Structure 1
Amino acid sequence: MTFHFLILYAALLLLAGITAWSAVRTHRTNRRLQHVYQRVNQLETEAETIRTQAYTASVEQDIYIRFMTVKDALFRQFNAPHPRAARESELALYSPEEQLHTVFSSGKADELRQFFQRYRLYLESYWKTGASGGKAVFVSNAQNGADSWETVHAATKSLYQEAERLSALFTYSSS
């Protein structure tokens, strides 16, 4: 009977050892698994940050291109009327307002929004002619009318100066 107890005791000790070894291995595995979960969460957070930064950079670049298209159209008006530039720049005005607020603080976004609105009004006031499309010919100052080229040139210069000032809002602006 003692022999059976010894075998049973040895079996219990072996079982206890295996259980202890298994518990240690399980604990190590759980720690490693927890570390892996933490690393995955960290990588997901970093990936989300990178996606957000890439989206913001893309939106800023889109707004910058639209802004520079308008600025270029204004610049082209300095020497003589350039109806094609005015017509083509109109497409640059269609930018959702929430995009401005994605990239810029509310004050800077409002400045840009107001600039685009003033440019839209400039196009409507000086470059549109009802249903027939855009204006290509302006009268001279001798007739002193509201449609004189000098009036358009003055408005162009004013808007261009504002565009020069707003160029500083963009991080990669060369002006």
Structure 2
Amino acid sequence: MTIESEVGLALIEGQYTLTSAESLTAGMFVSELASVPGISAVLPGAFVTYSAAAKHQLVGVSQELIDSHGVVSAEVAYAMAQGARDTLQTDFAISFTGVAGPDELEGHPAGTVFIGLVGPKQFERTLECHFKGDRLAVRQASVQAGMQMILDALRNIA
């Protein structure tokens, strides 16, 4: 069984809703999750917030936070997840922000990724990752790490 199938089935079984706010993954996470039959019961929608302006407009990340920490930061990853969760009123929200490459961004090398996850019972976690490889490899590794974060969270909350 694939990790996205595990995540999808666990969400469906637990009746936990989920949304995502994706920057460097550009919808790859939600696309993989959407391959799970029945996922529409717990996946009301998602956000692709590729630019700083979209992070602000779509999921309410404050411009002050972006200015002070940069878009490649744990603080912005957390704010993206929280904003997405608040906007769609889901149980969980996950976010991805970082540098897929090939160039660095805000002084961070390619492969630097921050993943934010918020959920019920004041659950919140932010993960900093440093992946190797080309743009596609970094994006795929980010999605896989996010899937694992959700599985771990579901196991801890249940």
Smaller-chain TM-score range?
Answer: under 0.3
Instruction: Tell which has more relative contact order, 1 or 2 (C-alpha 8 A, sep 6+).
Output: 2
Q: In proportion to residue count, which structure has more strand?
A: 2
Structure whose alpha-carbon radius of gyration is higher: 1
TM-score (norm 2): 0.25
Q: In proportion to residue count, which structure has more helix?
A: 1
